[in-house]
Structure 1
Amino acid sequence: MLSHPQQKYRPQPPVDLPERSWPARTITAAPIWLSTDLRDGNQALFEPMSGARKLKLFNELVRLGFKEIELGFPAASKTDFDIVRTLVDQQLIPDDVTPMVMTQLREDLIRETVRSVRGARRVIVHLYNAIAPAWRELVFGLSVAQIIAMVEQHVRLLRELTDAAPETQWVLQYSPETFCMAELEVSLAVCNAAIAAWDAGPTRPMIVNLPTTVEVSTANVFADQIEWMHRRLDRREHIVLSVHPHNDRGTGVACAEQALLAGAQRVEGCLFGNGERSGNLDLVTLALNLYTQGISPGLDFSDIAGVARIVEECTALPIHPRHPYVGDLVFTAFSGSHQDAIAKGFAAQQPDGPWRVPYLPIDPKDLGRTYDSIVRVNSQSGKGGIAYLLERDHGVVMPRRMQIEFSAIVQKHADASETEIASAQIWQLFQQTYLDALQRGSCRYLGHTLHEGAEGDTLNLQLDDMARAGGIERRGRGNGPIAATVAALDPALRVDSYEQRSLEGGAQARAMSIVEVAHPDVAGSRFGVGIHESIATASVLATLGAFNRLGVALAPQAR
């Protein structure tokens, strides 16, 4: 029993804003997006990203359409400093993308931060300091007047340093950290001091970023705080008003949406809500929420599974199967009544008409997902039972997404036969679906040779090309048998996941490889399975089987 919360906790006081207007507004356009995956998201990881992983995620953020990306805290991290210099020196930042670097209010850190981005075309320098009473009194021991003086001093220093480097267009972002827990009059005084010290104007752009550093109130209170500030900030026409919601109460997305109604123009967050404690604002959820309301977010999530795989690889954090829009199970109905409603919705849906399928707030195809697993899986016990029988009787352990794919195939067979599907029949369907895929599709497998070398593996693949009705040989090279097979079949093929297992114990055990692949010409992904005494051969067979299941033709072989 939780006891006496009224003695221990105090609710955030309401904002005196009787004339509030945000509840009557609607969002009509997407905000300016800032990804802080490389900074706020990175510092929340068990193991912070290496330079290589940061660069990979940066490139993915650019591909998705982000025009403002926070790169890190270069004055406090050599890894961050080096990645910033790499991006600047090698001119890897597109002209329409503005990097942001962050630092506290300390002279040495500000000087090092400016040094880290020297030579960039355009840069946002993000200064911040905590202003709420608990931080002022317990952490820093400073009065409000001292806080204001400290902000003025360090903003003037940044202005002096950046004025000495006119080849770069400098933008100040000031964040009163812990804004959501501070007195509004204090927040306004501190922000206006920063605005005046920077001399914000048409030629001196500035962002005022108001964070819910720790969520402590309902989303409507935060919206009131934003509208209160929006009405009172000095030089408002020259300020971009931004918000940085965290998710401690689970309302980060709601706070961002209501802040946009209240006057915010820009949002900061991370893909899939990564971040400290309960995470940052989930930019994917917010963007696709807008999309379902007919508003183009300006970000490309048409291959949401591909984005998820890159983020998981770079952060080493799994995405929950029930995560909005991207989770492996969000488009899978286990309830019979849900399945019936969805099936009827699909039957009535017009190709060019408004989306009206029950239980599906968005068309999965818009995100590169398929309909295969939506209606056909009857219940969780059915899917779990199939996976259990395959593991118990044949040693086959399927990844979760493969379970969803294969359970739909089994369910279709069960519906047609109107009989119980025994373990032997499930295994037969498994063989027909995955192992027999080597002998159907665009190319039938005849044989292969694989040679390991200093420059990687070289594969010679003998196939029966069904389009040309004749035997052919394809050659590919890669840093392993899967990469070599992809090179031989079609370089556009993307490998999303790979697993290998032993089917039996002992020296004579056979290896099983499971490969998940995708292709830009086909929605969704497909799994392939290879079983052989050699793990390398099993990997080749699994990749070829998955390729055949995609149903695409062989790519022309480069000469």
Structure 2
Amino acid sequence: MSKPRVTLYDTTLRDGTQGTGISFSMLDKIRVAEKLDEFGVHYIEGGFPGSNPKDAEFFNEAKKRQWKNAKISAFGATRRGRMKVEDDPQVRILLEAETPAVTIVGKTWPLQVTEVLGVSLEENLAMISETVAYLKKHGREVLYDAEHFFDSFKDDPKYSLATVKAAHDAGADLVVLCDTNGGTLPEFVAKATRAVIETIGEGTVGIHTHNDSGLGVANALAAIAAGATQVQGTINGYGERVGNCDLITVAANLQLKLDTPVVNDLTKLRELSLFVDELANVPHNIRAPYVGSAAFTHKGGQHVHAVQKLASSYEHVDPVLIGNERNITISDMSGQSNVIVKAEKLGFQFSKGAPEVGKILSEVKRLEAEGYEFEAAEGSFELLVRRQLGVSRPLFELQEYHCSFRRSGSGESGWNKCEATVKLRVNGTPEYTVAEGDGPVNALDAALRKALRPFYPKIDEVQLDDYKVRIINGQQGTAARTRVLIDSTDGETSWGTVGVSDNIIEASWLALVDSFEFKLGREARG
């Protein structure tokens, strides 16, 4: 792949970790960097080597590795005021990181120069130019981040341009304009970017935006349209306050909308997004553009009908291009097309207007009116289809179950325990089991497994991943109807099941039984 017109600069490991709830271990940072390098990101900012031991360790480890596509960059700042650049310890640490690229941030806004740094405007220009020149003298590629550029450009365009010119004239390979407060609009970003390019020339400007106004990606694209040749951002938009420009969305827009290739294989985009979320231990945003699980999900019956005939009628790109997939959900808004598409995934072939389709759809709508929801409970939906078609055999015949609660002692020294008894018939054989658990659902789970294990040993493969409770009609207080959603896995596949009842234990039991029947039914069918 030839050198791209626009390069991607990732700052997830530095700017991204400034986001609330985002943290990576040193090993996590290495793994993220390797994934970014494999994906084809051009620059990876590892952090400030002098800020903490973890970042220092990252750069020591990065030296030992071969990077196929990316340049690792250390991040720092211009020299301190009234200090020789060669005497500044943080500049020395940047060189000791031994990265091929170094990114330094400097002040652009006169207000910050005089009030925050406490130096003259002339001294600030010297700080910028001398630091850039010193790093270039030591063989580094230098990227200069012009902090608060757009706020400064509004107040004092002449001085703002003087700061970026000082960096450029001292040898900076790229001047990056930062919308540090995230409050600028795209039109002004484009105007200011063009002014900088007119001052220092084409191919010299990058863009670094924040998302405080919800315009991080839009502002980055506006700068690129005006002539910027690098976009800085973070995976999934991590960052301080509400986050940075999302590189995932930017990469997709550049490659698919603006015909500007930036990576070799965009089909790995969703995989990268999920990988970083997993290491950061944060929930994936299902509504993330391009890569979210809802990005190509269709719920309304008319939409599904149209998508079946012409996908582009409700999809702006083919989901396969970014490693995503089309998803048709079932709900009370569904039409026959929803049922037909979902049933085909289960191995059933129906034509539109077939009586079976109407029967299934009617049952879905009836149950959703009672509080069921099948969007995230595809396991229960599959069982519903099979039951309506008469091809599903229950695992057992329930006779009764019972839960009791015991407390021993008082205060913090006491302990609580739940006991569940289950009485049922399996293949004509009576089973009566008792088990304890930390709560009623846990105890019922244990008792039911104990009863079914001799007949269905594969039940031990089922693990409950998540348990969610939703009160449907809260205005009825403790008599409110309850919906329970259980997420289960066998280590290879995952599925959701749902139960609804006025009794939370009963709702949990229904979802639990569906989970086991889904897994064991599939095992029986091979």
Q: TM (normalized to structure 2)?
A: 0.64
**Deviations 1:122-166 (CA, angstroms, capped at 9, x unpaired):** x11111122214422432233321211222333344345x1xxxx
CA contact (8 A) 1:529 1:543 kept: no
Over the matched positions of the two proteins, sequence identity in percent amounts to 25
CA contact (8 A) 1:502 1:509 kept: no
User: Which residues of 2 match residues 63-74 of structure 1 at below 5 A?
Assistant: 63-74=38-49
Determine whether 1:103 maps to 2:76.
yes
CA contact (8 A) 2:15 2:240 kept: yes
Match of 2:252 in 1: 288
C-alpha separation between the residues in 2 aligned to 1:247 and 1:185?
A: 26
C-alpha separation between the residues in 2 aligned to 1:32 and 1:207?
A: 11
| Counterpart among 254, 279, 289 of residue 324 in structure 1 | 289
Determine whether 1:173 maps to 2:162.
no
Match of 2:468 in 1: none
CA contact (8 A) 2:193 2:228 kept: yes
What is the CA distance between 1:378 and its match in structure 2? 4.5
C-alpha separation between the residues in 2 aligned to 1:45 and 1:230?
A: 35
What one-letter code is carried by the residue in structure 2 that aligns with 1:420? Answer: E
- Name the SS of the counterpart of 1:114 in structure 2: helix
Number of aligned residues: 390
Determine whether 1:273 maps to 2:237.
yes
CA contact (8 A) 2:45 2:73 kept: yes
What is the CA distance between 1:244 and its match in structure 2? 0.6
C-alpha separation between the residues in 2 aligned to 1:57 and 1:242?
A: 23
What one-letter code is carried by the residue in structure 2 that aligns with 1:317? Answer: V
Determine whether 1:115 maps to 2:96.
yes
Match of 1:147 in 2: 124
User: Which residues of 2 match residues 310-321 of structure 1 at below 5 A?
Assistant: 310-321=275-286
What is the CA distance between 1:502 and its match in structure 2? 8.9
What one-letter code is carried by the residue in structure 1 that aligns with 2:489? Answer: V
Consecutive unaligned residues of structure 2, counting only runs of 5 or more, are 80-87, 336-340, 351-355, 387-438, 450-459, 464-487, 498-514
Q: TM (normalized to structure 1)?
A: 0.61
Match of 1:216 in 2: 183
- The CA RMSD measured in Å over matched residues stands at 4.1
Match of 1:488 in 2: none
User: Which residues of 2 match residues 402-441 of structure 1 at below 5 A?
Assistant: 414-415=357-358, 417-421=360-364, 430=382
Determine whether 1:508 maps to 2:447.
yes
Match of 2:314 in 1: 359
> Relative to 1, partners in 2 of residues 1:172 and 1:311: Cα closer, same or farther, differing over 3 Å?
same
C-alpha separation between the residues in 1 aligned to 2:36 and 2:217?
A: 20
What is the CA distance between 1:58 and its match in structure 2? 0.8
C-alpha separation between the residues in 2 aligned to 1:228 and 1:284?
A: 28
Consecutive unaligned residues of structure 1, counting only runs of 5 or more, are 1-28, 163-168, 347-356, 383-403, 435-500, 519-525, 531-538, 552-559
What is the CA distance between 1:171 and its match in structure 2? 0.6
Match of 1:184 in 2: 157
CA contact (8 A) 1:528 1:547 kept: no
Query: Larger Rg: 1 or 2?
Result: 2
Match of 1:461 in 2: none
| Counterpart among 190, 204, 216 of residue 252 in structure 1 | 216
> Relative to 1, partners in 2 of residues 1:415 and 1:74: Cα closer, same or farther, differing over 3 Å?
farther
What is the CA distance between 1:175 and its match in structure 2? 1.5
What is the CA distance between 1:419 and its match in structure 2? 3.4
What one-letter code is carried by the residue in structure 2 that aligns with 1:116? Answer: A
Determine whether 1:228 maps to 2:195.
yes
> Relative to 1, partners in 2 of residues 1:418 and 1:154: Cα closer, same or farther, differing over 3 Å?
closer
- Name the SS of the counterpart of 1:313 in structure 2: helix
C-alpha separation between the residues in 2 aligned to 1:76 and 1:321?
A: 34
**Deviations 1:236-293 (CA, angstroms, capped at 9, x unpaired):** 36x6311111111111111111111211111111112111112111111112123333
Match of 1:22 in 2: none
> Relative to 1, partners in 2 of residues 1:269 and 1:126: Cα closer, same or farther, differing over 3 Å?
same
What is the CA distance between 1:185 and its match in structure 2? 1.5
User: Which residues of 2 match residues 522-533 of structure 1 at below 5 A?
Assistant: 526-527=493-494
CA contact (8 A) 1:129 1:175 kept: yes
